[in-house]
Structure 1
Amino acid sequence: MRRALLLICFIAWHIPCLRAQYSFHVLEDTARTLTAQQALDMYKNGGFSRLESAYLNPGFTTSVFWIAVPVQDTAAAKDLVLLADNAHINHLEWYALKDSLRLLSVTGDFHPFRQRPLVHNTFAFPLDEGAQLYLLKADKHHESIQAPLIVRSRSQLQEQQAGEALVNGILTGIVLLIVLFGTFLFTTTGDKVYGWYALYVCSVLLWIWANKGLGFHYLWPDSYFFASRSRPVFVLANLVLSLQFLKGFTGIGKSHWMYTPFAVFQAIWLIMLGATLWPVDYTRFAQASFYLQKSLPLFSLLVIGFITAGLIAQAVKGNRPAIIYLAGTSVFITCIMLENLYHLGKIKLPEFFAHFGMFTGVVLEMIIITFGLAARFNAYRKEKEAMLLAMNTQQKALTDTIVTVEENERKALADRLHDEIGSMLSLASLQLSAVQENPLGSETKLQHAGNLLKDISTTVRNISHQLTPVAIEKYGLLHAIEDMVQLANASGKIHIELVLVGFSGGNEYPRNFQHTLYRIVQELLQNILRHAGASHALIQLIEHEDACSIIVEDNGKGMENGATAPGFLRSIHSKVSYLEGILQIESEPNQGTMVNIDLPLPRKN
């Protein structure tokens, strides 16, 4: 309850300050050569000008600035603190004038965090009792400098720190939950959009932490190298990742007109990122660094304008993700524009907005986009459910086809047993009965009966091979197919050429796969014999590393539409689907037919 009241008071009034009781005077040292004593002398001689708004904001500059803070009530100053409320000033020197001018502290981004006189995310300088004047040297030449100057009591500073810590903790927790949400969706669906979103949000959070001084305070407190580069590094990473996420979220593919400009922008930002992280002291290249930092916000403003125009065009066309992204980023884009203008020294921002406006805008943007991603995930889930339903329907249809084919095969077998075997057994029975009734001429009748029994035996063996190819079990798949083709060639009505490659390892594949493979070749051959009217055919069975191919060609009468299989190929379709293969048929009337089947190979026994 106490924290909630503290938060409400902090947001509503933002800790009243003591600016009215203190005046600030500034001197710009364009040559960057003044000493503290020389600056003091110039102040006494009227060389400083009054800083009316208590806000040092020259923007990008090549100068060093001296700020004078005269004290009227020296006894009351012992409980006061001067805030230079910017976490990114390279070098600061804090002097006090009592009997003489003396240096109290040296701090800044170019010094370890522990060197700050008071632990604070920005720069807090305690006032001493008895000093009539304070001098603050602020050096950030060849960069952008802003420093709101605020005098507060120590108790007010503690309340401010507690309030800021609470707000920062709440907003950071919200953003981290969004990062975890995006990571969860990425690991669940494998959709890269969610992964890019998690990285994008994470880069935004790190940029805000760097911008507010939290990163230097907690993450890299001893890094001179990274403390002064963290903000441009994370803002560049944020820009690159935001475009990467935007392309996936709104469906901007390689054929889209915005894809190439996006790629160019990303390349430019990556070059800038590489230059920022180049392991050299950038102060040696102050002028080049100055132009790089000055061009970044200008270029970013132009790109933001282009992206906004592109998103509006997509939204007008009814692109729902573009509408969601545009709605979510409208606040953030406004904040970025204000931030860029702030760094350019063109505008001044209210104190509260400078502290939490960007953070709040980011959180609002992330919440809106997260709702859009949740809707995308819901659509993905429904799509998967529809796909599973379609697969179940397809599997049921495949099962029905297999059952129908099996029933037809059983019926054909029953008809053959009844018509062929039954009739031949009846003739053999008649012959034997005739022998019993009239022994005369029994040798001829017995010979006829023996021949019928041989035919019955041959027919039963052929039917048995059709039901279960025993040759596969005894001699292997290749021998069984060779035997089948040899029997077809023995009729003399057609010449079949057989090409077998691979499958030399015997029964190394599962029995069910070999039998189904045999049945496919058998049915293709039967279709040629019964329907094609061909005089020549070619059958190829080729084993590859992880698949096998069946290619059957004939010079028969062909079909009207090779793309649509006739009814007598339905059984082959079902078997190929059962083995998760691909069936292609090419045929033209009087031009023959070619059937190409690709089947994945199962694991070997």
Structure 2
Amino acid sequence: MQRGIIHLTYPTFACDGSVVISASSIGFPCLPVCSYVIVFVLLLGCDFLMPSVAKAAPNLPPKLADTLYLRESNGAHLSETYRYYTEPFSAPATPTHADSMFRSGAFSAGPWHRTLNLGFAHQRLWLRLAVVNTLPQRTRFIWSLYNYTDSATLYYRRAGDELFTRVSAASSQVPAAERIFPARALCLPFTLATGEQAELYLRIDHHAGALYVPTDVTTTEDFLAWEVNYVFTKRWIWLIGFYLGSAVFNLVLFGFLRDRIHLWYVAYVVFTTIFLLMEDGLDALAFPAGIYRLLWSIGQFNFMLLAAACGLRILQLFLRLRNGWSFLYRLGTGLIVTAAVFVLVYTLLYPSARIQGNTLGLTLLNGGREVLLVAIFTYCWVALITVFRAPNHRRLALYYSLTYFFFFGGFVLFWLNHVGLTTLHLVEPNALAWGLFLELLVLSFLLTGRFRHTLRQNAKLRIRQLRQRNDMGARLIAAQEEEREHLARELHDALGPNLMALHMAWQGQAIRDALAAFPEAAAAARQTELLLRHLRDEVRTLSHALLPAEPGLGGLSDSIAHLGELLNLYGHPTVRTYCDAQLDTIPQPLQMSAYRIAAELLNNAVRHARASEVNVQLLRHPTSLEVLVEDNGKGFESSTAGNGIGLRGVRARADYLGGQVHIDSSSTGTSIMVWLPC
């Protein structure tokens, strides 16, 4: 060290971002020793802040301007090095033409540490990159594109060559398994020897109206390591699981409620999930080749348009626009139909417009899609504000606006990037995926609340319907009882006395004297008298069966006992009755129903069983009333049980009262038991 001169070593940065060491001399006047100590401390601090200073890259070729020195991973400095140029699709699609445009100064520098985003443009894109392989062995590198591209072709020219060589080509229209390098990203491999230099030209043809080009150059091993962990590092695994889980949850809710809002929710989730999978290229791995081609024949952003239309429909149903805002509802329905028709037209016209290079047609199709997206999102906010101004629906509008805000915020950021106005990437994997997550999370709570509210409303409706049914049944039974009482009194007061009078007249002396001269007529007269007597008894029995003892004059026990005594007048079969004590304390409507059931079963046994004995029991249990009718008659087959009018009436009355009927019949007799809840 000379007097007054300090020789310093300081870092400089090469064009690829690496640090090299340079030496220089800085003149200082003669200073005390303490001043040199201060300078030393400053230099030590500088070395601490920039630890890479001491790591000079040995044995590297001379640094070239605008050159990327290839290592294992090169994404950090790729955008600092490449140059790009756009031209109409009608221009010559050759690397020689592109190279001439580069030499004429038509190429522009790439953005500093940003994804190349040219927005809404219908032009061919060229990327130029000068590279040098700094690895100690011959290496296969991959230039990858992470967005859908109609076609991409890679050319290179080695140092000293005059002509370009077509290295590889690929298209996102082909499923991952059929590409030159099977991966979700569009990969274009090339190989360089150690220290080899080359010029790379990447031609990108994309007609969907969004030149958003996330790209990377790396080794095959580094690329595969990144791809293996991609779905985990970008949180796609559990995001997709959440999307599918919310869709299944709403299918379950639809199964319970049959509310169509849950089906629209499922469609909304499916369309948005497909869009997000297509955005990151996961569809190339997740779907079979046929489905993959079908999805891309429809178009990525058309799925977003369909999802927005489904979201609009959910908003209409949630806010009940049809009830109070008919014009707004019709306008929204018109937008939904327009979106669906547009997607169909786009799917039919886009392939021919792309093949023919019809820039005007492509611009109209892609521009129409963007206009519809903006129109739908604008409509949704207009609808929310309109409903919020109505006091009765303000809470619904507030809840849904909170839900809708998350997805809308994520979509706005995504859409601004899509059209090239911004290049913001705040969260992984993207803002739209997280916006959808938050929206579905809140919307699931809202729909669960709607589900519980609907269940409560349905329960109230069922209770009201049951009460109406009970009231109607009570009125019907009362009308039947009134009709039965009227019929019984008519039989007892009108037909009965007339039959009695006819029977007495037939037994009169004048009739007997008139028939005495004719023996055959006398025999017929006796037979007629027997029939009249039987008819009179039948009418009397029927009138008492229809009209049990009235309250205050005798209850259920007296009515059953009186009916048994009346039937015993015939002498065959013998009817025995038994009724528990306190049987008459049960409610009067239940007493009436029990009497009707016992009378019908007893009448069936007397008429059809051909039994010698019939037992009737009415037993009072703590929570039920049991009616048991048994006979020792011929019985009947179980397959014919209930075919008669009487048994059908018994079953209907028991079902109405919430009771049960049990029939046990064989050739030795029949037992019918009826339980009625008290």
Equivalent in 203, 218, 223 of residue 271 of structure 2: 203
User: CA-to-partner distance for each residue in 1:338-366, whole Å, 9 max, x for gaps?
Assistant: 2322222111122745x332122112212
Check if 1:376 corresponds to 2:446: no
1:261 corresponds in structure 2 to 331
Shift of 1:79: 6.6
1:187-206 CA distance string (max 9 Å, x none)? 33322222222222222222
CA contact (8 A) 1:28 1:65 kept: yes
8 Å contact kept, 2:142–2:189: yes
- Candidates 142, 145, 150, aligned match of 1:84: 145
Q: How does 1:302-451 map to 2 (within 5 A)?
A: 302-317=375-390, 318-319=392-393, 320-350=395-425, 352-353=427-428, 355-408=429-482
Structure 1 distance, partners of 2:177, 2:492, is 101
Q: Structure 1 residues 212, 62: closer, same or farther in 2, change over 3 A? A: same
Residue 278 of structure 1 corresponds to 348
Give yes or no for the alignment of 1:147 onto 2:221: no
- Contact 2:141 2:219 (8 Å CA) reproduced: yes
Unaligned segments of structure 2, at least 5 residues: 1-71, 510-527, 547-652, 657-678
Take 1:460 and 1:225, find their aligned partners in 2: how far apart are those partners? 82
What's 1:529 paired with? none
Aligned to 1:48: 107
AA aligned opposite 2:425: P
Q: Tell me: CA distance 1:467–1:201, structure 2 relative to 1, closer, same or farther (3 Å).
A: farther
Distance in 2 between residues matched to 1:200 and 1:39, nearest whole Å: 44
Query: In structure 2, which of residues 367, 391, 395 is the aligned counterpart of residue 294 of structure 1?
Result: 367
* SS of alignment partner, residue 149 of structure 2: coil
Question: Quick one: structure 1 residues 207 and 462, their matched pair in 2 at CA, closer, same or farther if it must change by over 3 Å?
Answer: farther
Q: Aligned match of 2:166 in 103, 114, 139?
A: 103
Please tell me whether the aligned partners of residues 96 and 131 of structure 1 are also in contact (alpha carbons under 8 angstroms): no
- Tell me, in whole angstroms, the C-alpha distance in 1 between the residues paired with 2:83 and 2:328: 50
- After TM superposition, give the deviation of residue 408 of structure 1 in Å: 4.4
Which whole-Å deviations, capped at 9, do the CAs of 1:65-109 have from their partners, x for residues lacking one?
2111222454369375433332x2212111233243322211123
Task: Name the amino acid aligned to 1:281.
Answer: S
| Partner amino acid, structure 2, of 1:282 | A
Aligned to 2:87: 29
State TM-score, norm by structure 1: 0.62
Where 1:326 maps in the other structure, the secondary structure is helix
Which amino acid is 1:270 matched to? A
Report the equivalent of 2:258. 190
In structure 2, C-alpha distance between the alignment counterparts of 1:210 and 1:383, rounded to whole Å = 42
Cα deviation code 1:361-382 (max 9, x no counterpart): 1122122222222222222222
Corresponding residue for residue 248 of structure 1: 317
Is 1:122 the counterpart of 2:192? The answer is no
Q: Distance in 2 between matches of 1:368 and 1:37?
A: 56
Any conservation in 2 of the 1:421–1:456 contact (CA below 8 Å)? no
Cα deviation, residue 420, structure 1: 6.1
Per the alignment, residue 489 of structure 1 pairs with none
**Given that residues 499 and 532 in structure 2 are in contact (C-alpha distance below 8 angstroms), is that contact kept between their aligned partners in structure 1?**
no
Q: Which moved more, 1:224-233 or 1:371-380?
A: 224-233
Match of 2:199 among 133, 142, 145: 133
In the alignment, the residues of structure 1 paired with residue 269 and residue 209 of structure 2 have an alpha-carbon distance, to the nearest angstrom, of: 27
Query: Quick check: 1:69 aligned with 2:140?
Result: no
Deviations 1:393-422 (A, max 9, x none): 333334433444455456556766776689
Are the counterparts in 2 of residues 210 and 231 from structure 1 also a CA contact under 8 Å? yes
Match of 1:160 in 2: 226
**SS in structure 1 opposite 2:322?**
coil
Cα distance change on mapping 1:25 and 1:413 into 2, 3 Å: closer
Distance 1:303 1:433, change over 3 A: closer
Opposite residue 470 of structure 2, the aligned amino acid is K
Cα 1:45/1:398, change in 2 over 3 Å:
closer
Q: SS of the residue aligned with 1:39?
A: helix
Bigger relative contact order, structure 1 or 2, given CA contacts below 8 A and separation 6+? 1
User: 1: CA distance between counterparts of 2:493 and 2:129?
Assistant: 119
Work out which of the residue numbers 305, 330, 333 in structure 2 matches 1:236: 305
Identity of aligned residues (%): 17
Deviation at 1:26, TM superposition (A): 1.3
- Which SS does the other structure have where 1:33 is aligned? coil
Find the aligned partners of 2:481 and 2:123 in 1 and give their Cα distance. 94
1:308 deviation in Å?
A: 1.0
CA shift in 2, pair 1:118/1:408, >3 Å = same
Q: Which amino acid is the alignment partner of residue 296 of structure 1?
A: R
Q: Deviations over 1:549-596 (max 9, x none)?
A: xxxxxxxxxxxxxxxxxxxxxxxxxx9xx9xxxxxxxxxxxxxxxxxx
TM-aligned CA deviation for residue 298 of structure 1: 3.0
> For the structure 1 residues 321 and 206, does the alpha-carbon distance in structure 2 shift closer, same or farther, using more than 3 Å as the test?
farther
Q: Distance in 1 between matches of 2:214 and 2:499?
A: 113
SS, match of residue 203 in structure 1: helix
CA shift for structure 1 position 28: 2.5
* TM-aligned CA deviation for residue 460 of structure 1: 7.8
User: Which has more radius of gyration?
Assistant: 2
Shift of 1:46: 4.6
Contact 2:492 2:540 in 1 (8 A): no
Alignment gaps of 5+ in structure 1: 1-14, 436-449, 469-574, 579-605
Query: What TM-score, normalized to structure 2?
Result: 0.56
SS of residue in 2 equivalent to 1:57:
strand
CA distance in 1, matches of 2:73, 2:135: 21
SS in 2 for 1:150: strand
Are residues 360 and 16 of structure 1, via their aligned partners in 2, closer, same or farther at CA, if it must alter by over 3 Å?
Answer: farther
Alignment size in residue pairs:
441
17-26 or 49-58: bigger deviation:
17-26
Give the letter aligned to residue 454 of structure 2.
Y
Over aligned residues, Cα RMSD in angstroms? 4.2
CA distance in 2, matches of 1:39, 1:367: 50
**CA shift in 2, pair 1:304/1:460, >3 Å:** same
Whether the aligned pair in 1 keeps the contact of 2:312 and 2:376 (CA below 8 Å) is no
